[in-house]
A and B are shown apart, each in its own frame.
Chain A
Amino acid sequence: MPLYTISTKRPLLDSDQQALVSAITEAHCSITGAPAQFVQVVFSRGVHLRSRNIVHILGSIRSGRSDKIKSELASAFVNSASQILCCPRSRCSVDLIDVPASWVIEGGAVMPEPGQEQEWLARQLG
């Protein structure tokens, strides 16, 4: 967690896929302060998106992020997708769903609340 599902109609070039993975991972970590170890991205192909969208990003993120942070995340994802896939921003859409950290097990333990990642990682690695 977070888990981002990137949907497109056509398969993407491997280089575009990797660029999107890097952009989303980088944006998530720099905006939320979460470590990259937590960021998962999967691609779904063959999806006829609504409103003639080129790409849709569905993110399950830990609850507790402010509206400002969520808005920054959505905006960063749209900007990156638009640049990497050379399409208008209006054809890129993002939905974010909040999931309480205590409802998820990752790395063998219940996930930490946002902001408590370093102590959690130290315990896991220690």
Chain B
Amino acid sequence: MRFKPIVLCSFIEGTLTNHEKQKLEFTINLAYQDHMNPRVAPRVVWMEVPVNQAFMEGKQSSAATFMAPLPDGTTNTLRHSFLYRLLDQWCSVTGRDTYEVVITAPDHSLSKEFLSTNRKRMSPLRQIAFIGKTLIRLVKSKSASGQFKTHINL
């Protein structure tokens, strides 16, 4: 089966411009193609988090969080090279410090487990509504701005 990763990028509202997101999307694509396979085309989803809803070390935080899945069984050598590539590109595009981003490159199956557990916090009927609402948000934002955008609040 073809590997079609969904890269989930959470960031604090107002901390990334559309141009930076566009450049990051481009570099994420290149990182997948160089490290995995030239035909891998990740779908990058940008999730906004209001400034007063994110904390680190007990205090408000402006750190971004990326989850970029890799095929199950990827070696740590390849995984680490991929992770450091994303980190370098993040710093280069945003001009921000390495301390302001957390990047996870989980096995694809773990990423699916995470998304499934996240959905299952809701009742089955609400999960259907959630999926519908999220899809509408993503399609609308893609056609309006060229980027898949969603929000941490439903």
Q: Which residues of A contact B (CB under 8 A)?
A: 1, 3, 5, 7, 14, 17, 21-22, 25, 36-37, 39-51, 53, 56, 58, 60, 93, 95, 97, 99, 102-108, 110
B152 nearest in chain A by CB position: A44
Q: Interface with A: B21-29, B30-38, B99-107, B140-148, which one?
A: B99-107
Contacts A103-B79, A105-B103: A37 and B57 contacting too (C-beta < 8 A)? Answer: yes
Of A7, A37, A42, A102, most buried by chain B (CB within 10 Å of CB) is A42
| A105 interface neighbour in B53, B102, B110, Cβ under 8 Å | B102
Supply 5 further A-B pairs (C-beta < 8 A) apart from A39-B56, A49-B123, A58-B118.
Answer: A21-B58, A40-B63, A45-B152, A99-B104, A110-B80
Which residues of chain B from 95 to 152 have any CB-CB distance to chain A below 8 Å in the complex?
98-99, 101-107, 110, 113-114, 117-118, 120-124, 126, 129, 152
**Complex contact B65–A58 (CB within 8 A):** no
Expressed in whole angstroms, the Cα–Cα distance for A74 and B9 within the complex equals 27
In the bound complex, residues from chain A placing their C-beta under 8 Å from that of B65 are 3, 40
Q: Which residues of B contact A (CB under 8 A)?
A: 10, 49, 52-58, 61, 63, 65, 76, 79-80, 83-84, 86-87, 98-99, 101-107, 110, 113-114, 117-118, 120-124, 126, 129, 152-154
**Complex contact B103–A104 (CB within 8 A):** yes
A42 nearest in chain B by CB position: B54
| B121 interface neighbour in A14, A45, A46, A49, Cβ under 8 Å | A49
Q: Tell me the smallest distance from the CB of A122 to a CB of chain B, in Å.
A: 16
Q: How many inter-chain contacts with C-beta < 8 Å in the A-B complex?
A: 117
**Complex contact A46–B123 (CB within 8 A):** no
A6 nearest in chain B by CB position: B53
In the bound complex, residues from chain A placing their C-beta under 8 Å from that of B57 are 25, 36-37, 39
Of B55, B63, B123, most buried by chain A (CB within 10 Å of CB) is B55
* A and B contact pairs by CB, cutoff 8 A, 7 listed: A36-B57, A48-B123, A48-B154, A104-B102, A105-B84, A105-B104, A110-B80
